[in-house]
C-alpha cells in the first residue's frame, strides 16, 4: 500500500499510546492508497492485552461505513509490543475471515519513539504469509 506520512504517523501514535497493550484498527484504502485511519478498541481481556480482538459487529458496521464513503477495507493494522512485526499464528487464523486484506503490523518492541517503530505489511492467504511493500510519502 501507499500511505502518507501523516496517516502513518497517526497509526504509529496509536501503537505507542496503547503500548504495552496491542493496538488495532483499520485503514480505508482507495486505489491502493490509504485514505483514512479508523482506530478500534482492543477488547482482549487481561492486564496486558497481548494479542488483539475486535468487536465483530462493530467492525462490520465500520466496514459498511467505509464502503458507503467510497473506500474499501484495505488493511487491518495492529501492533506487536513484545515480538517481531510478523503475523502470529493467531493473526493467520483470524485473517482467514478477511481474505484479500493487507495486514499492517507495527513493531513497538523497545521503541523509544516513533522513529523506532518498525512498520511491515503482509498478505495472508491460508497459511501463506507474503510481505508486501509499504511506500510512505
Ligand atoms: Zn499479531
Which among 85, 62, 87, 77 is positioned nearest to 11, based on CA atoms?
A: 77
Distance between Cα 32 and ligand 1 center (Å):
22
Q: DSSP string covering 105-132, please?
A: EEE-TT-SSGGG-EEEEEEEETTEEEEE
Q: What are the structural domain ranges in the chain?
A: 2-136
Distance between Cα 84 and ligand 1 center (Å):
9
DSSP helix/strand/coil, 85: coil
Q: How far apart are CA 52 and CA 16, in angstroms?
A: 15
Ranked by mean pLDDT, the top range of 2-6, 48-52, 68-72 is 2-6
Distance between Cα 65 and ligand 1 center (Å):
25
115 contact partners, CB below 8 Å, separation of at least 6? none
Distance between Cα 67 and ligand 1 center (Å):
25
Distance between Cα 82 and ligand 1 center (Å):
10
Distance between Cα 66 and ligand 1 center (Å):
23
Residues in the chain: 137
C-alpha cell at 36: 483514512
φ/ψ (deg, to 5) at 84: -65, 155
Distance between Cα 31 and ligand 1 center (Å):
25
% the chain with pLDDT above 90: 64
pLDDT tens for 92-128 read 998 888 888 899 999 999 999 999 999 999 999 999 9
Distance between Cα 126 and ligand 1 center (Å):
15
17 contact partners, CB below 8 Å, separation of at least 6? 23
**H or E, element range at 27:** strand 24-30
pLDDT tens for 6-32 read 999 999 999 999 999 999 999 999 888
**Domain 2-136 in this protein, CATH class:** alpha beta
Amino acid at each position: 500500500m501507499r500511505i502518507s506520512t501523516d496517516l502513518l504517523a497517526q497509526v504509529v501514535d496509536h501503537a505507542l499510546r496503547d503500548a504495552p497493550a496491542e493496538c488495532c484498527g483499520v485503514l480505508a484504502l482507495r486505489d491502493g492508497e490509504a485514505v483514512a485511519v479508523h482506530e478500534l478498541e482492543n477488547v482482549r481481556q487481561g492486564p496486558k492485552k497481548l494479542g488483539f480482538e475486535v468487536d465483530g459487529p462493530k467492525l462490520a458496521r465500520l466496514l459498511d461505513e467505509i464502503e458507503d464513503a467510497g473506500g474499501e477495507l484495505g488493511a487491518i493494522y495492529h501492533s506487536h509490543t513484545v515480538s517481531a512485526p510478523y503475523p502470529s499464528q493467531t493473526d493467520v487464523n483470524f485473517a482467514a475471515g478477511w481474505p484479500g486484506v493487507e495486514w499492517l503490523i507495527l513493531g513497538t518492541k523497545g521503541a523509544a519513539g516513533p522513529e523506532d517503530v518498525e512498520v511491515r505489511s503482509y498478505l495472508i492467504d491460508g497459511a501463506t504469509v507474503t510481505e508486501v511493500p509499504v511506500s510512505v510519502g
